[in-house]
Structure 1
Amino acid sequence: MEAEDFAGAAERKAPHGDRGGEAPRTLPREQLIGRLTQLAGVGNIEEAMRCLSEYVGASRFMLARYDLLQEQGLNFIVTSNWPFDLVRKISGVLADRYSRSTELEKCIALLQPSFEDLPPECRVPPGMSQRYCSLLFCVGRVRFALLLLFPDHMILSQERLREAALLAAYGASFVEGRSQRNDRDFELTEREVECLFWIAEGKTSDEIAVILGISRNTINNYITSVMRKTATKTRSEAIAYAVRNNLV
């Protein structure tokens, strides 16, 4: 089944979803934005994502730090109401897909609904589709993925899903903005933070030099300075420090 066939078109009779011929009741867009602002402003990202999932007719949501998928454990999950076993099984699939995607493919995928089938061994809640929707978006330098499960035979709207990705980024930006940083963070220069970001993306010093248009030796000096300021000994430790303190 093609993703476009599954998603349907925005112009169809039930653009927001259909379950037994009855469209889900959702807040009007203006009220939804106000509600998201209120919830995200107090750090209630779980309820904000619940409102968004209802807005597109989804029954289950999972907000993940897409850039942390390859870390050990389930620390990449920000909030979710997916069954735990399903989250544990899908994490490996997501990490593998992330590692195989090029930087260009990751950029192109932003804000574009993507549909994939869950592995056959994954058991979804009764009445749920085996196919899930993934919405990728960025908040600053941080990549997120909002994964949605829908009732089986739901008619979806591509337009509303893209809108949900934008609103998810809007809601998550409030939470990111409220994150507290250690005093050490403010010692890092903009260039040093840029180098940290690209290191976290798996780039070498030579690649970062090309991206930023400066010499390899200068990049290494920036990285050395970062490790000195953050009291870390390796690039991996510096990346872990940056992730813990929301620098990347």
Structure 2
Amino acid sequence: MDMDIFQANKQMANFVGANVPDLLPRDELIDRLRVIAEAGKLQAGLRALTEYVGAMHYLMARCDLIQESGLDFIVSSDWPFDLVKEVANDLVAGYARSTEFEKCMQVLQPGFALLPESADVPHGASRQYCSLTLNVGRSRLVLMFLFREGFVLSPERLRDVGLLAGYFASFLRCGGTKVDRDFELTDRELECLFWIAEGKTSDEIAMILGISRNTINNYITSVMRKTATKTRSEAIAFAVRNNLV
């Protein structure tokens, strides 16, 4: 994957075509973010920012944790899980190659990179994506967007998103502890999710937790309903992507 960051003014021309009408006005976005922040809903806020800039999908990661093992530095994402893994691997490599000066210069400057030809992107999405780096306290976050093919990016909206994303992430302390998730899994559902991520069967989880197999299956069904997943594997992928296990 070529993850080199290009200059925004050189790459903007690659997004050609008609702009998508009826994007959310700035004042409405600010009002919506205020309500969402008070409720502590991270994913809803990221979705509002994504819609404001006219993107299809978002991914937020913590750069200060990017060299740790696994995907713990992914804060939240609605990208396909396999695509998250590919991007994460290259983010680690790219971040290690960057100098401290280059990292500072990237803050609030739109960057563009290409997904590999082998990657499965969501239907209608461009292989070129946009990233915005922002600071929240001592932590550095990167917010990445997938856009539709032929979409014309607005530099003004990207600037707004960079500033508002920093405010929103700071309010929810995305640079520190985990925030409450939008889907609000119960403690018991999180326990079941943890154990299926460990490869345990319903019978084994029932023995561990001291409750019936049917109750375990009900909890797991509830987890998949709340996370909009269809299988246990998808639920595990969702949990890893959203830093739940």
Q: So what's the TM-score if we normalise by structure 2?
A: 0.65
Decide whether the 8 Å contact of 1:18 with 1:24 is kept in 2.
no
Question: What secondary structure, in the 3-state scheme, does the structure 2 residue paired with 1:62 have?
Answer: strand
Conservation of the 8 A alpha-carbon contact between 2:75 and 2:174: no
Which of 64, 76, 79 pairs up with 2:61?
Answer: 64
Q: Does 2:120 align with 1:123? A: yes
Q: Distance in 2 between matches of 1:114 and 1:69?
A: 18
Whole-angstrom distance in 2 between the partners of 1:2 and 1:178? 27
Tell me how far apart the structure 1 counterparts of residues 57 and 25 of structure 2 sit (CA, whole Å): 20
1:164 corresponds in structure 2 to 161
Q: Is 1:47 the counterpart of 2:44 in the alignment?
A: yes
Cα separation, 1, equivalents of 2:175 and 2:89: 30
| CA shift digits 1:147-167 (9 cap, x unpaired) | 000001111122221221111
Which stretches of structure 1, 4 residues or more, deviate above 4 A after TM superposition?
Answer: 177-181
- Percent identity over the alignment is 46
Structure 2 SS opposite 1:176 = coil
Q: Deviations over 1:112-131 (max 9, x none)?
A: 00000012321211211001
Corresponding residue for residue 150 of structure 1: 147
From the superposition, tell whether residues 163 and 100 of structure 1 become closer, same or farther in structure 2 (CA, over 3 Å): same
For structure 1, the residue ranges without an aligned partner over 5 or more in a row are 10-16, 182-248
Partner of 1:140: 137
Structure 1 position 100 matched with structure 2 position 105: no
- How far off is 1:6 after superposition? 3.6
Q: What is the DSSP-based 3-state SS (H/G/I as helix, E as strand, rest coil) of the residue aligned with 2:142?
A: strand
Indicate the structure whose relative CO is greater, using CA pairs within 8 Å and at least 6 residues apart. 2
Amino acid at match of 2:27: E
Provide the alpha-carbon RMSD of the alignment: 2.5
CA drift of 1:179 comes to 6.0
Task: Quote the Cα distance in structure 2 between the aligned partners of 1:39 and 1:33.
Answer: 10
Give, as a single letter, the amino acid of the residue that structure 2 aligns with 1:107.
C
Q: Contact 1:65–1:78 (CA<8 Å) still a contact in 2?
A: yes
Q: Which residue of 2 aligns with 1:4?
A: 9
Q: Larger radius of gyration, structure 1 or 2?
A: 1
Q: Please report how far the alpha carbon of residue 18 of structure 1 lies from its aligned counterpart in structure 2 after TM superposition.
A: 7.9
* Equivalent in the alignment of 2:3: none
Task: Give unpaired runs (5+ residues) of structure 2.
Answer: 1-5, 179-245
Structure 1 partner of 2:26: 29
| Equivalent residue, structure 2, for 1:209 | none
Distance 1:2 1:101 in 2: 15
Check conservation: 1:8, 1:157, Cα contact below 8 A. Answer: no
Q: Does 1:173 align with 2:170?
A: yes
- Quote how far apart the aligned CAs of 1:177 are: 8.0
Distance 1:150 1:143, change over 3 A: same
CA contact (8 A) 2:136 2:175 kept: no
